[in-house]
Amino acid sequence: MENNRDGITLRLKKVLPILFIIMFLVMAGFGIIIPVLPFYAEELGASPTELGLLMAVYSLMQFIFAPMWGRISDKVGRKPVIMAGIFGLSLSFFMLALAETLLMLFIARVIGGFLSAANMPTVMAYIADITTDEDRGKGMGIVGAATGLGFIFGPAVGGVFTNINLEAPFYIAGTLSFMTLILVFVILKESIHLSEHKAGAKKASTWGALLRDPLAMLYFLQFFISLSLSGLEATFAYFAAEKAGLDAVTLGYIFMIMGLASAAVQGSMGTLTKKFGEPLVIQGGIAVSAIGFGLILFIQNFATAAVFLAVFGVGNGVIRPSVSSLLTKISKMGYGAATGYLSSFDSLGRIIGPVLGGLLYSIAVGLPYISGVFLSVFALVLFRVYASTLQKGTGPVSHASGRGTHDDA
């Protein structure tokens, strides 16, 4: 048993840095096009409504197809599915660079959303394959930190190269993604043979069965995380300009600070989940998010905005890795199927969040953040009820406290 544990520890030390680099590069490539895409679409005649649809169609494709890719990875392996997702990103970026009509932009976004939906659920499934229950939170946190840092770095690079010409960021993003694809092909090894849920690949759930399952609470919690974050991102620029007179450059720094705070705490997820367990970390994250939402109402200048958004980022940042870790421990589906549905709910939140946030902001300036506080409290109460119910039943929540089955073997 001791040799097996040492082998798992050695495997983690080798593979986690590789996965960190891969996810950082993937998200950096994705982030590079964010500052330029609206201007690029306008150059091709997109109206504000069409621009909104162009942004939403990508998340819609991920919402629809992430579960499919997760199930495929349970059957054929993680590496080919990860490669398919990264190839899709690279292809879509080059298609965007070469687009001459608005229709071509939409086709590129549809293809990119469809194929890149494979990335996040399959990487999370890969983490579940190679980790014990005890180290699951650490692995998920590393992936979350890499994703966050890539998303911070990418837009900064994209903004710089936008000054050269509007196509440059797309070519850079496409090249970076293709280099990442080569890296995965050469370095990353298959992990499906290490999965403890190989039999679970035959137990993939339908949407109806999924929503009736007690585990649906974890999926709805992921939806809440994504909804709250995307709603904040969609409205904060207007709020900060009105409340504190902050401009676009200053807002970029504030969101960078929030992202760094979130990535920092995600990097320490291994310590947090081992000490407190995923359920308690999730509850703490929801509580801190609620506090962050409330504090946002009182911003006065750059310093207060940066600190208050960092508080929100810390709370929001610890929830997803903990949810992913807990879900892969107690779900009876294959790891890929389980994380695929999780990514689907994440995408749904990113579709609805900006629309809902904008609607609430149009009613009252601070309403998105007041609503965020109440939604956080509601989510916290629901999760406490859910955790209590499972603990009295089969006990998987107490089992997920960091003392995994590998230690009992």
In a domain, residue 261? The reply is yes
Report CA Rg, the chain: 20
Q: What is the pLDDT of residue 194?
A: 82
Q: What is the pLDDT of residue 398?
A: 45
What distance in Å separates the CA atoms of residue 66 and residue 219, rounded to the nearest whole number?
A: 13
Do 108 and 11 fall into the same domain?
yes
Across residues 190-196, what is the average pLDDT?
Answer: 83
Do 116 and 169 fall into the same domain?
yes
Of 163, 195, 227, the residue that ends a domain is: 195
Across residues 162-171, what is the average pLDDT?
Answer: 82
Q: What is the pLDDT of residue 154?
A: 87
Do 174 and 298 fall into the same domain?
no
Do 122 and 180 fall into the same domain?
yes
Across residues 111-133, what is the average pLDDT?
Answer: 93
In a domain, residue 204? The reply is no
What distance in Å separates the CA atoms of residue 284 and residue 296, rounded to the nearest whole number?
A: 18
Of 195, 225, 242, the residue that ends a domain is: 195
Do 105 and 156 fall into the same domain?
yes
Do 182 and 215 fall into the same domain?
no
Instruction: Give the pair of three-digit tokens for residue 204.
Output: 């993939």
* Segment among 118-122, 191-195, 374-378 with least mean pLDDT: 191-195
CA dihedral 285, 287, 291, 293 (to 10 degrees): 70
In a domain, residue 409? The reply is no
In a domain, residue 30? The reply is yes
Please report which confidence band the pLDDT of residue 33 belongs to, taking 50, 70 and 90 as the band edges: confident
Q: How far is CA 159 from CA 37, 58, 100, 171, in A?
A: 11, 21, 22, 14
Cα–Cα nearest to 353, from 345, 343, 364 = 345
Q: What is the pLDDT of residue 280?
A: 93
Do 180 and 225 fall into the same domain?
no
Q: What is the pLDDT of residue 207?
A: 80
Q: What is the pLDDT of residue 195?
A: 78
Do 231 and 380 fall into the same domain?
yes
Looking at per-residue pLDDT, the higher value among 35 and 152 belongs to 152
Name the average pLDDT for the chain: 86
* Segment among 43-52, 208-217, 315-324, 385-394 with least mean pLDDT: 385-394
**Domain range spanning residue 136?**
1-195
Q: What is the pLDDT of residue 392?
A: 63
| Angle, helix 2-32 to helix 78-98, in steps of 10 degrees | 10
In a domain, residue 332? The reply is yes
* Segment among 246-250, 295-299, 346-350 with least mean pLDDT: 246-250
Q: Residue 287 maps to which CATH number?
A: 1.20.1250.20
Q: Give the percent of the chain with pLDDT over 70.
A: 89
Burial 5-21 (b: 16+ CB within 10 A, else e): eeebeebbeebbeebbb
Of 195, 228, 259, the residue that ends a domain is: 195
Instruction: Give the pair of three-digit tokens for residue 255.
Output: 């969101």
Do 243 and 185 fall into the same domain?
no
Do 217 and 184 fall into the same domain?
no
Q: Does the structure show a pLDDT above 80 at 62? A: yes
Cα–Cα nearest to 233, from 130, 120, 119, 316 = 316
In a domain, residue 366? The reply is yes
**Residues 275-333 pLDDT 10s:** 999 999 999 999 999 999 999 999 999 999 999 999 999 999 999 899 999 999 988 88
Please report which confidence band the pLDDT of residue 343 belongs to, taking 50, 70 and 90 as the band edges: very high
Across residues 25-32, what is the average pLDDT?
Answer: 89
In a domain, residue 108? The reply is yes
Do 228 and 177 fall into the same domain?
no
Q: What is the pLDDT of residue 70?
A: 94
Q: What is the pLDDT of residue 309?
A: 95
- Total structural domains within the chain: 2
Across residues 158-186, what is the average pLDDT?
Answer: 88
In a domain, residue 314? The reply is yes
Q: What is the pLDDT of residue 260?
A: 92
Do 280 and 221 fall into the same domain?
yes
Q: Does the structure show a pLDDT above 50 at 251? A: yes
Q: What is the pLDDT of residue 216?
A: 87
